Structure 1
Amino acid sequence: MKYLIPALAGLALAACTAANDTDSAAVDTAEAGFMPDVSEVNIEAHIRFLASDYLNGRDPGTPGYEIAANYVASQMRLLGLEPAGDNGGYFAQVPLHEVRPDAAYNQLTLDGEVFEHGTGAYISSNPSVLEAEITGELVFVGHGVSAANRGHDDYADLDVDGKIVVVLGGVPENVFEGLSEERAHHNSGTTKRNVAAAHGAIGMISVTSWTPEQLTGFTNGFGSRPAVRLTSATGPSGYDSVTASANVSAELGARLFEDAEMSLEDVRAAMSAEEPSYPRFELPHTVTLRQRTLSEPFDSPNVVGMIRGTDPAVADEYLVLTAHLDHIGSVTENMRAGGSCNTTDDSDEICNGAVDNASGISIMLETARTFLAQGAPRRSVLFVALTAEEKGLLGSEHFARNPTVPAEQMVANVNLDMPVIVYDFADVIAFGSNHSNLGPIATRAAARMDIAVSEDPLPEQSLFVRSDHYNFVREGVPSLFLMTGFSSPDPRWDEGEGFMGFLTTHYHRQTDQLDGELEVLFEQGAKFANINYLIAREIADSDVRPAWNDDSFFGNLFGGDAE
């Protein structure tokens, strides 16, 4: 789309000019009752550049992402944000590597019988411990879930120290009925691995429902592609002690239960019964897991700018505004596992990511511009463009665990991920609003723009734990994730038609771009930015420090001393 270049240059110049005007118009303090008026032209300028073909889908570790990161850093400098990355600059590097199993080396041995990688067992990569061989007795731990607040603990009265745990996928459904956020937290591989590690396990075997043929197909297909992971430099993880893990076919899984007190078939029946039970017991077998992980390291930067607070009493507290800068690259270049570009048009290889998430970055930048136009806030505000969200929320995990400001002084996070600005929205969803005193702030801000705040319309998707804010939650920081809602004054887009239409037709596809069949409504981006600013402004200027609600599961789990 080379014809975009004149438009890109003109719109970028408009954004820069607006930045200079903003500097001259800045006032010392925010005016009471101020109503923001973000420019839709500026929103368009950022999206057009970031979603252009010349950035080739902004895949981390590629020149396209580096161009995007430099663009954001330049915009931060033009706006007048202080650099708040590493070594006095805007970049905060994230240590990443491509990892994949060494198929020729990896194997599982059950009571002396060897199963090569892909023949009944898929031996997973370990991004922290690149080579390990472990031998241990087996203990079946049900779903591998430890939820004391719900009265369920699959590890209760079991000794798994120095042993290999065997788990089934999922969670006990009756325990988490109606609790989609908690369910998703306990069902994640990271949580299950961390729980196993906390109990002293050295390995984990997950029993799937796959046939041996299906597992072989996965191993030779998707499972053979490299994945992007953080290196051990980010900090300790469950990988450090659970050094080898495997997924096994249902057939091999059944063999693990031979001569045990229950067969795998009986266990599954008990756990899925109308009145389920959750048996857990030792398995009379010994397994050796051997894994070697092939690694190709690279760095990719988060981009960090700051507006320093003006009130000495709270200026050393930081509100962190985030949006992910990366997308999923192109069909031909992105051969990594996860975040794949879904081919819909053979003539167009690039997934440009206009809505996901050039829109979020543009709104974050224009939120910063509006802050400066109205005067610096009482608290300091960090603006962080995150890398590698599409690879597993990696940039946010590294930053949340290794921030460029004192970790204990990060008081709140507001995250922008894929505001679906392709329809006239009449409501927003503020994920996390029920967990902290940020919820009423979001409601007040939206109401000032005549926008409602609605309940999660897709609880089964567990969106609260699927974007970058979740890593701040895991570090005890109250967080909000703002998203366009399902209501619209236009009947074509009402009742979720606008949002779901984007998900089913354009999400992670080449059509998430400008000047094609998808119409991106820049004025809706400006409206969303106005709401985001009002939320951020109240947090930054409030007398009250953000705090978890007393009944918040995540606040009670991560907000205190508990891990």
Structure 2
Amino acid sequence: MRFFPSLSCCVVLSLLSLRPSLAQSGSISAEAQTVAKTVRPEAIRAAMRFLSDDALEGRKPGTRGFALAANYMQTQLEALGLQPAGENNTYRQAVPLRRWQVREKASFLAFDSKDNEKILLYGKQFILNPNPDHANSDVTAPVIFVGYGVSAPELNYDDYAGIDVKGKIVAYVNGAPSTFPSNQRAFYSSAKAEIAAAHGAVGVLSFSLPTDLRNRIETAAPRARQGIYRWLDKRGKPQRTFPALKGSASLSDSAARLLFTNAGTSFSDAVSAALKNRSQSFPLNMSAHLHTQTDMVEDVAGQNVVAVLPGTDPVLKNEYIVYVAHLDHLGIGRPVKGDSIYNGAHDNASGVAINLETARLFASLPKAPRRSILFVGVTGEEMGLLGSDYFASNPTVPKEKIVANLCLDMPFFFHPLLDIVPYGAQHSSLGHETEVAAAFVGVQISPDPIPEQTVFMRSDHFSFVRQGIPALFIKSGSQTGNPNLDGTKLNLDWRATIYHSPQDDMNQPFDFNAAAKHVQLQFLIGYLTAQADSRPTWNKDDFFGTKFGPARVVK
């Protein structure tokens, strides 16, 4: 792609000159304005090119390629003058990871109805999830259908209302009601097992609506067979598991229909109710027998990279704004179009490169901000947000002193950046800083164009939300400036054809001027937050603030 750095600079300068009054009202100092103009699109491109090179072999945690990526990030931050903020006065934090896998030949799923037993075909009709808490797990129990498997009384929706599932296996549809707000829909789509365990279930069976082609067994089976990873606490116990659940399986469409053979409500009626967002629950008059043999496959020595730019205020320097981007990708895998290296240029060399340039802007300030700025390159995002969850749960700085998180992951700069979707901005006071920075840079703020993708739950910012820390995750919006180019369609097509494939390399039409705007947004939002007298707070009665951060909610 042909690149014009001088044009980028002129565009940025013209945008800045149009909004001086708004910049001043938002407390963007003259020094910060000057530094923001120095963003280097070519530096973003160069960092992405190195991190996604074949020599790094896809940056899978525990490999030589990931070590090279971590060394690169560390040396870049060290060269900027940032100080070590990891363990033992180093730039690293050890993250112990472990992988488990189902032993398929020793595992099975059967449906029992009266005197009839139907043993299902592994990989065709079902997939079992590994059970890190039980190497040899066996459970037989009646199955209760619980709609979407969601209990959200604050949204006047509860699939568990009026039914007792203690000691039962629950079956539910993937996803959440489309009437839910985007981020709540994302949360409840991903919290099914936790909700089931809280209601006393001993097993879960999940399946997709016939209209949902994203989670089919055929596409899910290859990756599911690679197993799952979890991080270990200091006692060696895996985290983010639910020991009360003795079995968990994903079903094909045909297997899901079999479940309803003896039910008082037909499969099609249950699907119709789900599509109409109606809560529902009823017995299926069927039992399921899940037997899962889980093997511990390997331990992986994961690492996070952690560096800090110390603040300058005598008191506020002890508070931290944390910038996060994941360093890892999928490594070497199944060949696609003759290529087996999953380079991860957009996912997420782009986020790391943008955060590195953001760090340079902070380091270029004549005087560092009042609060300290922490930059973290995390491991294991592709394994389930593991590196960020480990850091947020075991930070190398006092947890109560982390005031905000800004995460960047696949910001999507394949067209000019005219609007952004700032996931999380509507939940906390960070929304104000986002508005000021967006207006200054010259981009509009838009709603989530693809709520069905549950983006809010799918990157490292959510690890901080779980710890009650206000967080922000910015992606580009759908405006392209070209009436013949639909940004949402471009996004969805990329996810369908390039995402998590070897074709996510540097041979893509990246717009590095758009990437430079992402740097400015990251920098200015963090700068405004670092300079403010008060730390960010959750909005009053906010769902995530109430659920995870009651001590940080505006009264």
- Scaled by the length of structure 2, the TM-score of the pair is 0.81
2:171 aligned with 1:167, yes or no? yes
Instruction: For 1:427, give the aligned amino acid.
Output: D
8 Å Cα contact 1:267-1:279 kept in structure 2: no
Task: Specify which of 470, 478, 495 is matched with residue 478 of structure 1.
Answer: 470
Cα distance in 2 between the residues matched to 1:313 and 1:184: 37
Q: What's the counterpart of residue 147 of structure 1?
A: 152
Q: What's the counterpart of residue 430 of structure 2?
A: 438
Structure 1: which 5+ runs fail to align?
A: 1-28, 336-340
Cα distance in 2 between the residues matched to 1:240 and 1:160: 16
8 Å Cα contact 2:98-2:300 kept in structure 1: yes
Q: What's the counterpart of residue 200 of structure 1?
A: 200
1:41 Cα deviation from its structure 2 partner: 3.6
Instruction: For 2:56, give the aligned amino acid.
Output: L
Task: Specify which of 317, 336, 361 is matched with residue 352 of structure 2.
Answer: 361
Shift in alpha-carbon separation, 1:436–1:208, aligned structure 2, 3 A:
closer
2:40 aligned with 1:42, yes or no? no
For residues 331-410 of structure 1, the aligned pairs below 5 Å read 333-334=332-333, 343=336, 345-346=337-338, 348-374=339-365, 375-410=367-402
8 Å Cα contact 2:102-2:292 kept in structure 1: no
SS at match of 1:384: strand
Aligned length: 511
Cα distance in 1 between the residues matched to 2:217 and 2:406: 41
8 Å Cα contact 1:244-1:291 kept in structure 2: no
1:283 Cα deviation from its structure 2 partner: 4.4
Q: What's the counterpart of residue 323 of structure 2?
A: 321
Cα distance in 2 between the residues matched to 1:371 and 1:287: 57
Q: What's the counterpart of residue 454 of structure 1?
A: 446
1:536 Cα deviation from its structure 2 partner: 0.8
Shift in alpha-carbon separation, 1:39–1:140, aligned structure 2, 3 A:
closer
Larger CA deviation: 146-155 vs 272-281: 272-281
Instruction: For 2:47, give the aligned amino acid.
Output: H
Output one character per residue of 1:304-331: Cα deviation in whole Å (capped at 9) or x when no partner.
Answer: 11122222322222211111112233xx
8 Å Cα contact 1:142-1:278 kept in structure 2: yes
Larger CA deviation: 500-509 vs 369-378: 500-509
Output one character per residue of 1:357-391: Cα deviation in whole Å (capped at 9) or x when no partner.
Answer: 21211111121121122122211221111222223
Cα distance in 1 between the residues matched to 2:496 and 2:272: 36
Cα distance in 1 between the residues matched to 2:295 and 2:285: 28
8 Å Cα contact 1:421-1:524 kept in structure 2: yes
Q: What's the counterpart of residue 246 of structure 2?
A: 243
Cα distance in 2 between the residues matched to 1:501 and 1:365: 28
8 Å Cα contact 1:131-1:291 kept in structure 2: yes
8 Å Cα contact 1:254-1:263 kept in structure 2: no
1:248 Cα deviation from its structure 2 partner: 4.2
2:225 aligned with 1:225, yes or no? yes
1:49 Cα deviation from its structure 2 partner: 1.3
1:415 Cα deviation from its structure 2 partner: 0.8
Q: What's the counterpart of residue 292 of structure 1?
A: 294
- Scaled by the length of structure 1, the TM-score of the pair is 0.80
1:438 Cα deviation from its structure 2 partner: 0.8
Structure 2: which 5+ runs fail to align?
A: 1-28
Larger CA deviation: 537-546 vs 457-466: 457-466
For residues 13-162 of structure 1, the aligned pairs below 5 Å read 31=31, 33-36=33-36, 37-108=38-109, 113=117, 115=119, 118=122, 121-161=126-166
8 Å Cα contact 1:101-1:294 kept in structure 2: no
8 Å Cα contact 1:486-1:496 kept in structure 2: yes
1:100 Cα deviation from its structure 2 partner: 1.9
Shift in alpha-carbon separation, 1:132–1:555, aligned structure 2, 3 A:
same
SS at match of 2:109: strand
SS at match of 1:467: coil
8 Å Cα contact 2:59-2:65 kept in structure 1: yes
SS at match of 1:237: coil
SS at match of 2:473: strand
Cα distance in 1 between the residues matched to 2:493 and 2:378: 26
Cα distance in 1 between the residues matched to 2:451 and 2:387: 25
SS at match of 1:334: strand
Shift in alpha-carbon separation, 1:327–1:288, aligned structure 2, 3 A:
closer
RMSD: 3.4
Instruction: For 1:367, give the aligned amino acid.
Output: T
SS at match of 1:434: helix
8 Å Cα contact 1:436-1:478 kept in structure 2: yes
Cα distance in 1 between the residues matched to 2:411 and 2:267: 45
Cα distance in 2 between the residues matched to 1:157 and 1:478: 35
Task: Specify which of 503, 510, 527 is matched with residue 517 of structure 2.
Answer: 527
SS at match of 1:126: coil
1:555 Cα deviation from its structure 2 partner: 2.0
Q: What's the counterpart of residue 544 of structure 2?
A: 554
SS at match of 1:74: helix
Output one character per residue of 1:256-290: Cα deviation in whole Å (capped at 9) or x when no partner.
Answer: 56666x25537626735869461334846474544
Cα distance in 2 between the residues matched to 1:404 and 1:273: 45
1:509 Cα deviation from its structure 2 partner: 4.0
SS at match of 1:481: strand
Cα distance in 1 between the residues matched to 2:217 and 2:239: 33
8 Å Cα contact 2:202-2:244 kept in structure 1: yes
Q: What's the counterpart of residue 20 of structure 1?
A: none
1:150 Cα deviation from its structure 2 partner: 1.5
Cα distance in 2 between the residues matched to 1:487 and 1:207: 34
Give aligned-pair identity as a percent. 38
